[in-house]
Amino acid sequence: MTSVLLIYPYFNNPHNRSSFRFPPLGLGYVAASLRNAGYGVDILDCTFMKREEALKKAQGIEADVVGIYSMVTMRNDSIWFAKNLRDSCDLLIAGGPLPSCDPLSFMNDFDVVVKGEGEHTMLELLRAYDNGCDLRSIPGIVYRKRNNGRAKGKQSEIVFTDPRILESDLDKIAFPARDLFPNDRYIEYWKRRYGHAATTVFTTRGCPFSCEFCSNAVFGISYRERSPENVVDEVEHALSFGYDRIHFADDVFTLNRERVLKICDEIRRRGLHFKWECLGRVDSIDEEISIAMKDAGCDRIFFGIESGNDSVLKLMKKKITPDRARKAVYSAHEAGLSTGAFFILCYPGETDDTVLETLRFAVSLPLDYLSFTMPYPLPGTALYERVKERVSKEWKAPDSLISDHVLIFDADFSENKMKLAILKGEALFEMKKRFGNYSFLVMRPFELLTSFMFRLMK
């Protein structure tokens, strides 16, 4: 039967500075689906590898079909893999967030792009490939029509098939093939840096909200939930590999409070003892749910607040208010949870006043972790459509675009002014943590000076 190699091209290099490294669950889901159908599947997770080492391993596997994951910060590396493996495999497939929203940019180097969720699509694609069937009947793909068995010709016709209907019952989807990940490397990495070993679990797919800067290219806007029992089953499965912490990676884990309470009840009922964290919306967090989560092992929650100004939040289409954000953070804090928040500074349409207001708001909250970034118009988002005529750098660079705060479009603020805003926010937050009740003695002069400098800059 056809052999399959799935590649996650996140390389161990100086540009990839993310401190939170997790196994690629998307490929794990696809691998489980294919393996359950009888296909031989390998995952090449490059997180702890150098480029040439990874390529040598990929070539040594000699798979018939190669699927490569890609997102904006992996575009170069995914295409590099495709070019180097082009002649050693029969079918090259791209999938992930970037190919899903911008498939045409991959068609010169790949035979097929899988759009959105890949478990069912990849299985149907491989069966059609095995049987020599026309791919047009497979929903959710973009492909080049084959000439003489291959799709190398850049002039051949590109075909978009019908959109795929998303799986509504997530409990039917097999758990990710976690045994194919380098779990020992992840566990060693996490324990060395943080003293614990964390891995991810998704309990929902899709998001019913439409924040302007956010991409729903893979999971879509159709919000779907797994049952509490199924979620905790996978938690136990993940913990069996040696992890002791779970990061629930859903964008809206806390959206359905009754379901969250049932998950907490199920964790306690089974007598599971592990720490976990999640991302929460501020309009779904209060004292009751914070306490229930704490009692079930949660010790940290992150909020995507993004701005401390109501008009900017409306511009972002966040559908929250600064007042509601403050109440949510305080509810979690008073329940004993560590709290973190993410903010976007200098968003298109902002003014000096709104940026400074957001900085003051962020530092006023009882947060243990605070992240500031400049706006990044990801392909496939409404923000990208709004500013695409002003994009000055293509999304083809590595992680350093984000980690080094590189501006990629002609914004209302200069790159240096944005960097000053981020530096100011980070410095104020560190002063507050270091000096506690006396921080105002240091923060006030710094606040006045940097605000003056910020307003002077173009």
pLDDT, one tens digit per residue, over 430-446 is 999 888 766 777 788 88
Distance in angstroms (rounded) separating the CA atoms of residues 300 and 367: 11
Q: Taking 90 as the threshold, does the pLDDT of residue 34 lie above it? A: yes
Compute the chain's Rg from CA coordinates.
23
Q: Within a 13 Å sphere around the CA of 184, how many CA atoms are in the beta-carbon half?
A: 0
Burial class (CB in 10 A: 0-12, 13-18, 19+), 155: exposed
Average pLDDT, the chain: 91
Distance in angstroms (rounded) separating the CA atoms of residues 281 and 324: 10
Q: CA–CA distance from 372 to each of 202, 395, 428 (Å)?
A: 25, 20, 12
The answer to whether the CB of 346 falls within 8 A of the CB of 417 is yes
Q: Residues with Cβ < 8 Å from 271, sequence gap 6 or more?
A: none
Q: What tens digit of pLDDT does each residue of 305-351 get? A: 999 999 999 999 999 999 999 999 999 999 999 999 999 999 999 99
Sign (positive or negative) of CA dihedral 63, 69, 75, 77:
negative
Q: Where does the chain hold its CATH 3.40.50.280 domain(s)? A: 3-160
Give the mean model confidence (pLDDT) for residues 364-380.
92
Q: Residues with Cβ < 8 Å from 132, sequence gap 6 or more?
A: none
Q: Where does the chain hold its CATH 3.80.30.20 domain(s)? A: 170-456
Segment among 295-299, 301-305, 406-410, 450-454 with least mean pLDDT: 406-410
Segment among 15-19, 49-53, 116-120, 240-244 with least mean pLDDT: 15-19
Q: Taking 80 as the threshold, does the pLDDT of residue 409 lie above it? A: no
**Which pLDDT value is given to residue 405?**
58
Q: In this structure, are strands 298-306 and 275-280 parallel, antiparallel, or unpaired?
A: parallel
Q: Residues with Cβ < 8 Å from 114, sequence gap 6 or more?
A: 67, 93, 94, 95, 99, 100, 121, 122, 125, 140, 141
Rounded to two decimals, the pTM is 0.91
Give the mean model confidence (pLDDT) for residues 375-400.
74
Q: Which CATH superfamily is domain 170-456 in?
A: tm_1862 like domain (3.80.30.20)
Question: Pick from 346, 350, 324: which is nearest to 425 by CA?
Answer: 346
Give the mean model confidence (pLDDT) for residues 68-72.
93
Q: What single DSSP character describes residue 22?
A: -
Question: What does the H/E/C string look like for 104-148?
Answer: HHHCCCCCEEECCCCHHHHHHHHHHHHHCCCHHHCCCEEEECCEC
H-helix or E-strand containing 171? none
Q: What tens digit of pLDDT does each residue of 211-230 get? A: 999 987 667 778 999 999 99
State the CB neighbour count (10 A cutoff) for residue 133. Answer: 13
Q: Does residue 269 or residue 438 have the better pLDDT?
A: 269
Q: Within a 13 Å sphere around the CA of 8, how many CA atoms are in the beta-carbon half?
A: 23
Distance in angstroms (rounded) separating the CA atoms of residues 199 and 186: 8
Distance in angstroms (rounded) separating the CA atoms of residues 444 and 279: 32
State the CB neighbour count (10 A cutoff) for residue 436. Answer: 8
Question: Pick from 82, 76, 66: which is nearest to 15 by CA?
Answer: 76
The answer to whether the CB of 105 falls within 8 A of the CB of 119 is no
**Which pLDDT value is given to residue 442?**
75
Q: Taking 50 as the threshold, does the pLDDT of residue 396 lie above it? A: no
Architecture, CATH, for domain 3-160: 3-Layer(aba) Sandwich (3.40)
Segment among 53-67, 129-143, 215-229, 369-383 with least mean pLDDT: 215-229
pLDDT band at 125 (very low <50, low <70, confident <90, very high): very high
Burial class (CB in 10 A: 0-12, 13-18, 19+), 277: buried
pLDDT band at 407 (very low <50, low <70, confident <90, very high): low
The answer to whether the CB of 225 falls within 8 A of the CB of 170 is yes
- For the chain, helix, strand, coil in percent to 5 are 45, 15, 40
Q: Taking 80 as the threshold, does the pLDDT of residue 149 lie above it? A: no
Q: Taking 90 as the threshold, does the pLDDT of residue 287 lie above it? A: yes
Question: Residue 234: what residue type?
Answer: E
